[in-house]
Amino acid sequence: MIWQIHFPLLNNDLFELASSQSLTAALSDLGDFAVQLDYLGVENAPDWFHDFRLPENVFTRRVTLHLDNTAVVHAQSVCTVDSRWRDVLDCGTSPLGAILFSGSLNIARSPIEFTTPPDYVLARRSWFEWGGERLYLVECFLPQIANFSKKSSRASSKSV
């Protein structure tokens, strides 16, 4: 998989949504937003981050993000097994973005990178650093996101 910091031109309808700093905030503006916790625990490091040379086992939080009861994004966050990020990731069905962008943590974020993986319309990833430790995040857009991103594009063009 090739990751790039330039947004792929294949789907301009997703540009505004996928390039937003907080996907939680952007999705919340499009409908009834909910988080479904799919997994929390230790597992093998996912392929999404193979080029970061993570340890074999990482602490993982996998969620499905929903708009109006429709699954639109699969997201996965990972950190080292002994990281202070574990407490942040153990937030149940609360949106991780609400914590990351609350201003309560002194964090830095890498540039967002994009790719077009099989089974998804688009994926984006980045890492956050807090106290010298990193949290890696990937967000994969399901085809159903098109129903909501088109609404966003129409609303933006009407307000101009």
pLDDT digits (tens, 9 = 90+) for 5-36: 887 766 667 888 888 999 999 999 999 999 99
Confidence (pTM): 0.89
Per-residue confidence band for 102, with pLDDT thresholds at 50, 70 and 90: confident
Q: Which domain holds residue 47?
A: 12-159
Could you give the 3-state DSSP secondary structure of residue 49?
helix
Q: Which helix (H) or strand (E) holds 71?
A: strand 70-79
Decide which of 23 and 151 is more confident: 23
Per-residue confidence band for 159, with pLDDT thresholds at 50, 70 and 90: very low
Q: Considering the domain boundaries, does residue 1 fall inside one?
A: no
Could you give the 3-state DSSP secondary structure of residue 24?
helix
The backbone torsions φ and ψ at residue 54, rounded to the nearest 5 degrees and listed phi first, read -75, 160
Q: Considering the domain boundaries, does residue 133 fall inside one?
A: yes
The total number of structural domains in the chain stands at: 1
Q: Considering the domain boundaries, does residue 4 fall inside one?
A: no
Q: Considering the domain boundaries, does residue 46 fall inside one?
A: yes
Mean per-residue pLDDT, 147-157: 56
Q: Considering the domain boundaries, does residue 5 fall inside one?
A: no
Beta bridge partners of 140: 74, 123
